[in-house]
Amino acid sequence: MLQFPDMKHAHALVMGNWKLNPGNTLEAKTLFAELKKKIPKTTTAKVVVAPPFLFIPELAKGAASVIKLGAQDVHYEERGAVTGEIGAGMLAFFGVEYVIVGHSERRALGETDTQVNKKVQALLKRKLTPVVCIGERLRDSQGQFFNHIAAQLKALTEGLTPLQLQKVVIAYEPIWAIGTGETATAENVKEMQLFIVSTLTKLYERKVAEKVRLIYGGSVKESNAKDIYEQGGMSGFLVGGASLEAAQFAAIIKAVE
């Protein structure tokens, strides 16, 4: 495997995925307000929260420069007979800037690599930033899981120009570490950072691969964020449960400064 130094971006990205939380608009507004109080306006990190779709219009009214709005999914069609879906143009209208696609929980419902690629292209057309999740379900001692990661990377980059790829964020989320309390070690994360950059270098070239932002997700919390960030070579985090606790989320943001 090719060896690369850390290629962290000047400003780390920390994105909170609220998933199916909280239970109503009032709770969502309260949590959002708490986050704004806890996160210093002087933070050097790019901070994003992705609430459920229904809360986006209300939170957009109170969005501040310190916190950007994200979304948890999107459909690749702008309009049409796709009941229950949300288009990229709709998200852009409410000020959404980052959109998660390919999350393992969506893939478990049947989302394919081809659909992920189409969503990425739809978001780029609307000048929104796709945050594409990749990750293995299990690790084997022979390292076969690397083939799975390589296949996901090849599929998500299909048809993308080098310039388009540089506008994509890749979130490495080992499925075995999502919501389980287990976390990849800093060594695991660093190993995957090197592998992802190596794979992208083969698909494009090194100077392109170096510009793609890589972040880590999977049971990230205050107690492990600093170690993973400093040693794992990634440029930020995709945070699940800990993003629902203002103090915990703020501490993770502090860890990347």
User: What would the pLDDT profile of 88-125 be if each residue is shown by its tens digit?
Assistant: 999 999 999 999 999 999 999 999 999 999 999 999 99
Does residue 12 form part of some domain?
no
As annotated, the active-site residues are 103, 173
Rounded to 10 degrees, what is the CA torsion of 101, 107, 110, 111? 20
pLDDT value for 177: 86
Q: How many structural domains does the chain have? A: 1
The confidence score (pLDDT) of residue 7 equals 57
| 231: in domain | no
Packing angle of the helix pair 186-203, 222-232 (nearest 10 deg): 40
Residue 175 lies inside a defined structural domain of this protein: yes
> Is 10 within the bounds of a domain?
no
The rounded distance, in Å, linking the Cα atoms of 16 and 194 is 24
How much is the pTM?
A: 0.94
Q: Which of 231, 223, 232 is nearest to 252 (CA)?
A: 223
Domain of residue 111: give its range: 100-214
Any domain includes 26: no
Does residue 222 lie in a domain region?
Answer: no
Q: Would you state the pLDDT for residue 36?
A: 93
When mean pLDDT is compared across 61-65, 149-153, 211-215, 220-224, the lowest value belongs to 61-65
Token digits for 176? Answer: 């075995």
Residue 85 covered by a domain = no
2 confidence band (pLDDT: 50, 70, 90): very low
CA 203, 206, 212, 214 torsion: positive or negative?
positive
Instruction: Say if residues 97 and 68 touch (Cβ distance below 8 Å).
Output: yes
Whether 108 is covered by a domain: the verdict is yes
CATH number at residue 158: 3.20.20.70
User: What is the overall mean pLDDT for the chain?
Assistant: 94
